Chain A
């Protein structure tokens, strides 16, 4: 009885709260401000519209079947067509029908796998579970025939989004921009996925992170950062859908960056002002001209926006798909060189050699992460010129410190193979370079043996004192 009253009370209160948050359904992904700011606002609007078309909004996400994301799928075939309504039958064995009853299916993606529309993908406008019929968002060019087979996808995306919202969003943000509400209290900052770069991967230097790489991070966390392990709290299938959602967010962010960078060439934010200065035309005339030009660009089927998206997504798809193939995974060609004093010494010699591995330049002579590069002004390749602050920066323009190897904290994992991969292929998005081209595998193993021995090297007393500024001896705990 009492429980019942409480239930009612909770329902009433929830209703009141939902009333306030009515606009939640209109919530949008925020634009990548750092990259969008120098772009003309009309071009920015085009990008926003394009992305919304292909990815939807945070609460109404779209399974864009072109992308190599495991959206989860249900297969079926057409029974009959009634005007715009297509009556269908799902193959129960292959589908998760329970989740298809959800009205959220309205934004799932549909792909015909046979018939006149084979290979064409559509967004669903509505699905009626009682009639087992759906309508597509855009009219079908050719009416499907009875027996045409199709795939509807999206359950994983929805499941992933819900879990992401609960466990990840407060740090990594709704947009996957690493700018959630708690992010500003964290050092290092949570990862911003929108460059499509993840640091700790098993794949080679030119390839994306694989699904398993990301799952490993969720399972083991990243020591020395605020990224915790989510196992055993989350089950295997839950980790998998979160990973797919994160990959989807990363691809969305990447496409956004590419579109904005491309449009910046012709549609800079200050174009109207600049051109008005140079010519006799008024700014409003030029603004009109820009609007017209953009319209043409969007409408042009062969050289316009559609073609650009085609190329960019094509590259993106092959990059992400490549990460899932076995030949991009870095496996050392030789087993680990036995961890002997001689091997460590060879590794150390290589470590401090300024024309060899160059480790010393950043990690310093004793591996404390205090090499001279940390005190130098560094080039900003993306923006040109130099960074204002001394020291190293990462691809996200954040200051970054070379790892203090004496602490024995290995963010990307402490297994020999993890360290081998870090040295061999570098760390993506950071100044840590791949050395595989110049250093032989046996030598990399020597380096691994040395690096793993650094926390246990006896440090001469004087040197130890000089470094005791940091206060703590090299014990594991919370590093910065």
Chain B
């Protein structure tokens, strides 16, 4: 029975390590973490994540080896008595100081990424100066308000503002900021490919910025269970070239001013 426990505790860490190696070496299996972020900041966030993962892996392997060593030794000798370390001052100092140093290192090491991600004063200036849209989460959709082309987004709605729903557009390779609000309960604005996640809180306007470096359509979902229709809050971010972005706003403007006579650039782009 002692041998069994020894084998049991050696088996699982080995399975975990083999799984991790296979999964990380062959991403085609889809067992590992999602692919690289499409923003530089996202990659830095990933790097922090991986750093923690490496530390945790080293600690995991170390503790498992120690555990198995103890079990193995005890299973071989019935005469040897256990050594009770309780009250050992030097041991306590070691296991307090070593993790503290690691945690302190992580806390300091991540500060600039955190500031860039969350603290408005550290946002890129071009993003801070000209938010491109106001996104209002509500049960169960994302309502988006853009300023008219060439104008700045105002806190209060303006007569020439442009509106869309569930379809956020942003130019690539430009740091852009959006103002996040909630129309009812708490939601969470989540762009998994960009590693952006921010709660939308009723009564608050929360700035978020990102700089997509890849063209494409990325998922925008709600990451906070906000009611029975939570799953319906599936929108998209279209990251496109500057010209396409401008064309999109122009089209939105034409649609919004449609009076039945002006050529509707697309009477309803969603009816295509």
Chain A residues proximal to chain B, CB less than 8 Å: 167, 170, 182, 212, 215-216, 219-221, 223, 226, 228-233, 236, 331-332, 334-336, 408, 414-417, 420, 445, 452-453, 455-456, 473, 475-478
B270 touching A220 by the CB < 8 A rule?
A: yes
Shortest beta-carbon distance from A177 to chain B in Å? 19
CA distance A335 to B138 in the complex (A): 35
B258 interfacial contact with A, CB 8 Å = yes
In chain B, positions 228-266 with a C-beta closer than 8 Å to chain A are: 228-229, 232, 234-236, 255-262
Top 4 A-B residue pairs of the complex, sorted by shortest distance between their CB atoms: A336-B259, A335-B261, A219-B270, A228-B141
A167 touching B166 by the CB < 8 A rule?
A: no
CA distance A231 to B142 in the complex (A): 11
List 9 other contacts, CB 8 Å, given A226-B139, A236-B271: A215-B271, A220-B270, A221-B165, A231-B165, A233-B232, A416-B258, A417-B258, A452-B159, A476-B136
Contact flag A232-B166 (CB < 8 Å), given A335-B262, A417-B259, A420-B260: yes
Q: Which residue of B lies closest to A219 (CB)?
A: B270
Shortest beta-carbon distance from B59 to chain A in Å? 26
Contact flag A231-B261 (CB < 8 Å), given A219-B270, A221-B141: no
Shortest beta-carbon distance from A443 to chain B in Å? 15
In the complex, chain A residues whose CB is within 8 Å of the CB of B86 = none
Q: Which residue of B lies closest to A170 (CB)?
A: B228
Q: Which residue of A lies closest to B219 (CB)?
A: A232
In chain B, positions 111-159 with a C-beta closer than 8 Å to chain A are: 136, 138-141, 143, 145, 156-159
Complex A-B: 6 CB contacts under 8 Å: A216-B271, A232-B167, A232-B236, A455-B157, A477-B183, A478-B183
Query: Contacting B268 at CB < 8 Å: which of A167, A219, A230?
Result: A219
Query: Contacting A223 at CB < 8 Å: which of B143, B258, B270?
Result: B143
In the complex, chain A residues whose CB is within 8 Å of the CB of B270 = 216, 219-220, 231
Majority secondary structure of chain A interface residues (helix, strand, loop or mixed)? loop
Q: Which residue of B lies closest to A421 (CB)?
A: B260
Contact flag A336-B141 (CB < 8 Å), given A216-B271, A236-B272: no
CA distance A439 to B260 in the complex (A): 18
A229 touching B183 by the CB < 8 A rule?
A: no
CA distance A388 to B259 in the complex (A): 41
In the complex, chain B residues whose CB is within 8 Å of the CB of A223 = 143
CA distance A336 to B258 in the complex (A): 9
B229 touching A476 by the CB < 8 A rule?
A: no
Query: Contacting B157 at CB < 8 Å: which of A216, A232, A408, A478?
Result: A408
B163 touching A414 by the CB < 8 A rule?
A: yes
CA distance A28 to B228 in the complex (A): 25
CA distance A229 to B268 in the complex (A): 14
B184 interfacial contact with A, CB 8 Å = yes
Query: Contacting A228 at CB < 8 Å: which of B156, B232, B259?
Result: B232
A332 touching B159 by the CB < 8 A rule?
A: no
CA distance A417 to B268 in the complex (A): 13
Q: Which residue of B lies closest to A455 (CB)?
A: B157
B159 touching A229 by the CB < 8 A rule?
A: no
CA distance A332 to B258 in the complex (A): 11
Contact flag A233-B234 (CB < 8 Å), given A182-B228, A212-B271, A475-B157: yes
In the complex, chain A residues whose CB is within 8 Å of the CB of B258 = 415-417
Q: Which residue of A lies closest to B221 (CB)?
A: A233
A335 touching B184 by the CB < 8 A rule?
A: no
Query: Contacting B256 at CB < 8 Å: which of A335, A414, A473?
Result: A414
Shortest beta-carbon distance from B189 to chain A in Å? 16
Q: Which residue of A lies closest to B262 (CB)?
A: A335
CA distance A477 to B255 in the complex (A): 22
CA distance A15 to B157 in the complex (A): 53
Query: Contacting A416 at CB < 8 Å: which of B145, B157, B259?
Result: B259
Query: Contacting A456 at CB < 8 Å: which of B143, B145, B159, B255?
Result: B159
In the complex, chain B residues whose CB is within 8 Å of the CB of A219 = 268, 270-271
CA distance A219 to B138 in the complex (A): 16
In chain B, positions 164-178 with a C-beta closer than 8 Å to chain A are: 165-167
B159 touching A415 by the CB < 8 A rule?
A: no
In the complex, chain B residues whose CB is within 8 Å of the CB of A232 = 166-167, 234-236
CA distance A216 to B158 in the complex (A): 24
CA distance A417 to B260 in the complex (A): 6
Q: Which residue of A lies closest to B236 (CB)?
A: A232
Q: Which residue of B lies closest to A186 (CB)?
A: B139
Contact flag A229-B271 (CB < 8 Å), given A475-B157, A477-B183: no
CA distance A229 to B139 in the complex (A): 10
Shortest beta-carbon distance from A45 to chain B in Å? 36
CA distance A417 to B140 in the complex (A): 26
B140 touching A416 by the CB < 8 A rule?
A: no
B141 touching A332 by the CB < 8 A rule?
A: no
Shortest beta-carbon distance from A464 to chain B in Å? 14
CA distance A228 to B222 in the complex (A): 14
In the complex, chain B residues whose CB is within 8 Å of the CB of A445 = 259
CA distance A198 to B165 in the complex (A): 22
In the complex, chain A residues whose CB is within 8 Å of the CB of B183 = 476-478
CA distance A175 to B96 in the complex (A): 65
In the complex, chain B residues whose CB is within 8 Å of the CB of A477 = 136, 138, 181, 183-184
In the complex, chain B residues whose CB is within 8 Å of the CB of A182 = 228
Contact flag A336-B157 (CB < 8 Å), given A228-B139, A232-B234: no
In the complex, chain B residues whose CB is within 8 Å of the CB of A478 = 138, 183-184
Q: Which residue of A lies closest to B139 (CB)?
A: A226
A229 touching B165 by the CB < 8 A rule?
A: yes
In the complex, chain B residues whose CB is within 8 Å of the CB of A226 = 139
In chain B, positions 68-113 with a C-beta closer than 8 Å to chain A are: none
A229 touching B138 by the CB < 8 A rule?
A: no
In the complex, chain A residues whose CB is within 8 Å of the CB of B271 = 212, 215-216, 219, 236
CA distance A478 to B185 in the complex (A): 10
Residue from B156, B163, B256, B270 having most chain A Cβ neighbours under 10 A: B270
Contact flag A216-B262 (CB < 8 Å), given A475-B157, A476-B157: no
A453 touching B228 by the CB < 8 A rule?
A: no
Residue from A229, A236, A455, A478 having most chain B Cβ neighbours under 10 A: A229
